[in-house]
Structure formats: structure tokens, C-alpha cells
């Protein structure tokens, strides 16, 4: 990946994160915690993968950069949580989005196509969120 591709991935992940943040706030306000379980993961996967494909950016880099932005937000937005807990949550966000990006890239490379890759990875992301919410 060259400098331009890396910069493009960062910009696109920022756009995806901004749109996901706006959508997430609306969806949680409208549907409550249930939105976190299914709707939000599929939208996030669609934004990350969709932007990467539409603008020919490195898919995994967009997913990892998005994960970094979400991890940073999670850390900063929860000052009442002890630092170790925020750090662990942030690390989980970064690692999770990296894994989801890797799975999506693998599914697309295996010929399943972007839409099916987004749906499958979105469902995996949903299961991940359900597991995390169940533990808290």
C-alpha cells in the first residue's frame, strides 16, 4: 500500500465513521439497544466495505482505520469507566473491526461478492455485539 492508498483509506474510514456515528445515534434513539444487536453492525460493515470498493481503497485498511476511530471514541466517550476497562474495550473495537475486514476481504476473494460478504460479516458482527452486550 502506498501513501496515497493509505491516505484514501484513512479519509474513507473517517467518512464511514462519521456516517455510522450519525446513524447509530438515530437507530439507538429509535429502536434502543436492539439496534446495536443487528441493524448497526450491518450498516457499519456496508459503509466500510462499500466505500472501500466504490473508491478502490484497500479494504482491510479502511476496516482497521475505522476500528481505530471507534476505539478512540470508545476510550474518550466513557470517562467514568476506569482506564483499564476503556483500554480493553478500545482494543476489542480495533481488533474486532480488523477481523471483520479480514473476513470480508476473504469472502470477496473467494468469489462470494461484496453484498454477500457484507451480510455475512454483518451477521458475525451482530453475534459479536450480542456477546459483548450479554456480558455487560
Residues 69-81: pLDDT tens digits?
999 998 998 888 8
Number of domains in the chain: 1
Q: What is the DSSP letter of 77?
A: T
What domain range includes position 118? 3-135
| Residue pair 32/25 in contact by the 8 Å Cβ criterion | no
Mean pLDDT (the chain) is 93
pLDDT at 135: 65
Strand positions, DSSP E, 18-84: none
pLDDT in tens, 21-73: 999 999 999 999 889 998 999 999 999 999 999 999 999 999 999 999 999 99
Amino acid at each position: 500500500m502506498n501513501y496515497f492508498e493509505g491516505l484514501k483509506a484513512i479519509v474513507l474510514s473517517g467518512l464511514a465513521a462519521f456516517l455510522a456515528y450519525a446513524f447509530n445515534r438515530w437507530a439507538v434513539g429509535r429502536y434502543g439497544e436492539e439496534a446495536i444487536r443487528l441493524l448497526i453492525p450491518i450498516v457499519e460493515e456496508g459503509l466500510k466495505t462499500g466505500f472501500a470498493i466504490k473508491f478502490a481503497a484497500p479494504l482491510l485498511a479502511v476496516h482497521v482505520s475505522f476500528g481505530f476511530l471507534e476505539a478512540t471514541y470508545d476510550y474518550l466517550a466513557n470517562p467514568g469507566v476506569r482506564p483499564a476497562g476503556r483500554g480493553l474495550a478500545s482494543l476489542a473495537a480495533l481488533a474486532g473491526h480488523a477481523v471483520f475486514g479480514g473476513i470480508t476481504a476473504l469472502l470477496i476473494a473467494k468469489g462470494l461478492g461484496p453484498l454477500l460478504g457484507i451480510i455475512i460479516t454483518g451477521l458475525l458482527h451482530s453475534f459479536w455485539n450480542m456477546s459483548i452486550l450479554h456480558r455487560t
